[in-house]
Amino acid sequence: MIECKMKNVKLKIIVVLMVLAPNFAYGAEFYFGTQSKEIGVGQLGEVGVFLNTDDAQINAIEGKIIFSDSVTVKEIREGGSMISLWVENPSLSDDDPNHSVTIMFSGIIPGGYTGNRGYLFSIIFEKTKVGDVKIEVNDARALLNDGQGTSTEVRVSPLTLAVVEKTGAPGYLPPYDNEPPESFVPEIAQDPNLFDGKWFVTFATQDKISGIDRYEIAFGSLGNFVRVESPFVLPLWKQLAGGIVRIKAIDRASNVRIETLPIAIPLPWYEDYRIWGIILGGAIIVYLIFRLWKQKQIKHTKKHE
C-alpha cells in the first residue's frame, strides 16, 4: 500500500518537473567511462555514468541503462554524484522483459549543472562468460534549468566492453572510505494526500566516497535501530508519546552518521494525552474539594442538632 503510494508520489514529481515545452533545446549527452574496455571472466568491472550538457544548464534527468548480455550487478555506487536529490535512486528493475539487466534512475540538480563530465553513478558488475557487452541508455530525458521544464535533445554514447578469458588490466578496487556520511536534518511532516494523513519523517544525505548503503531508525535514547526507507510513517503511539527519534545513515564502508530530532507533533486537543491528563487532574481536584466541603457541611449540621 505504502510502496504503491510512494510510486505515485514519485510519478507526480516527475510529471511536475518534466513539463513538455513546444520547443526543444540542444544539449545533453549520456556517456560511460571505464578504466579499461577489456575485463576478464569472473573479474569485477566498473562503469561510470556521466552527463555532458554541451553548455546547456540541466536540472533534471532520467533514463534506463540496459546491458546487451547477461551480467551480475554487484553494486551501484552513488558516492560523489552531482545529483543531490534522487527521485528514483539507480536500482535494478525487472520491468523490462526484453533485457536481462535494466537499471532505472531519475534525479534533480537544484540550481542546474553545466559541464562535460557530470558524474551520476557507477555500476560494479561481473560477467562469467566470454563475449562483448554493450551498455547504453534508453528512454533518456533531460530538462533545462529555465523555469519552464523545457526538454532538451538527448544523445547517448553507448559503451562496448570485451570480456576475455584473461586480462592484464586491474579489476575493480573499492575506494578507501573512513569518512562518515554528510550531516543532514531529518524532518517530520504531514500531508492529507499521503499515508492517510499520518505523520511521517523524511531524511536524506550523501556520502561522497563510497555512497549511502542504508538508513536505520530508533525511538528514544535506548531504542534499537531498525532498517527503514524515507519517508517513514511514525507509529501512532510515537505520535502521541513524543520523545526523540534517531536516524542513522550508514555508507558502504560501514561509516555512520546519526542525527536526532524531537517528535513534536501538534495534535487535536482530544488526541493529546497531556490535555486529558490536565482534565482528569482538574476533575480529581474538584472532586476532592467537593468531598471536603461536603464533610464540613455534615459536621456543621451535626453541631447544630
284 and 254 in a single domain? The answer is: no
Residues 30 and 157 in one domain: yes
- Among residues 193, 219, 220, 190, the alpha carbon closest in space to that of 202 is found at 190
In a domain, 201, yes or no: yes
Q: Over 60: is that where the pLDDT of 152 sits? A: yes
Average confidence score pLDDT of the chain: 82
Residues 85 and 210 in one domain: no
- Domain-embedded: residue 169: no
pLDDT tens digits, 62-94? 999 999 888 899 989 888 888 988 889 899 987
CATH of the domain at 208: 2.60.40
Are 286 and 209 within one domain?
A: no
C-alpha cell at 201: 519523517
DSSP secondary structure string for all residues of the chain: -HHHHHHHHHHHHHHHH-PPPSS-EEEEEEEEE-S-SEEETT-EEEEEEEEE-TT--EEEEEEEEEESS--EEEEEE-TT-S-SEEEEEEEEE---TT-S-EEEEEEEEEEEE--S-EEEEEEEEE--S-EEEEEEEEEEEEEESSSS--BEEEEEE-EEEEEES--SS----PPP--PPPPP---EEEE-TTSGGG-EEEE-----SSS-EEEEEEEETTTPPPEEE-SSEEPPHHHHHH--EEEEEEEETT--EEEEEEE------GGG-HHHHHHHHHHHHHHHHHHHHHHHHHHHHHHHT-
Average pLDDT over residues 10-19: 46
Q: What distance in Å separates the CA atoms of residue 201 and residue 87, rounded to the nearest whole number?
A: 17
- Side-chain-side CA neighbours of 37 within 13 Å: the count stands at 9
Mean pLDDT of 224-239: 85
Is 170 domain-assigned? no
Query: Can you tell me the distance from the alpha carbon of 18 to that of 199, in angstroms, rounded to the nearest whole number?
Result: 28
Residue 290 in any domain: the answer is yes
Instruction: Verify that 243 and 288 share a domain, yes or no.
Output: no
Residue 166 has pLDDT above 70, yes or no: yes
44 and 133 housed in the same domain = yes
Contact (CB, 8 A) for 239 and 262? no
Alpha-carbon distance of 43 to 168, in angstroms, equals 11
**Given a cut of 90, is residue 100 above it in pLDDT?**
no
Tell me whether residue 296 is in a domain: yes
**Same domain? 44 vs 77:** yes
Of all residues in the chain, the percent with pLDDT exceeding 70 is 79
Q: Are residues 257 and 278 in the same domain?
A: no
The answer to whether residue 33 is domain-embedded is yes
Q: In this structure, are 141 and 211 located in the same domain?
A: no
Would you state the cell numbers that stand for residue 3, as one nine-digit string? 510502496
Q: What is the pLDDT of residue 191?
A: 84
The pLDDT of residue 269 is above 90:
no
User: Do residues 40 and 136 both lie within one domain?
Assistant: yes
Answer yes or no: pTM beyond 0.85: no
Quick one: average pLDDT of 95-123? 87
Residue 171 is assigned to a structural domain of this protein = no
Specify whether 122 is located in the same domain as 232: no
> Are 132 and 204 in a shared domain?
no
- Note whether residue 180 is domain-resident: no
pLDDT in tens, 38-56: 888 888 889 999 999 988 9
What is the band of 25 on the pLDDT scale with cuts at 50, 70, 90? very low
Do the Cβ atoms of 161 and 133 come closer than 8 Å?
A: yes
Residue 157 belongs to what domain range?
Answer: 2-164
Domain boundary among 110, 130, 164: 164
Placement of cell 550508514 in the chain: 250
- What is the domain count for the chain? 3
Going edge to edge, which strands form the sheet with 232-233?
Answer: 187-190, 199-202, 232-233
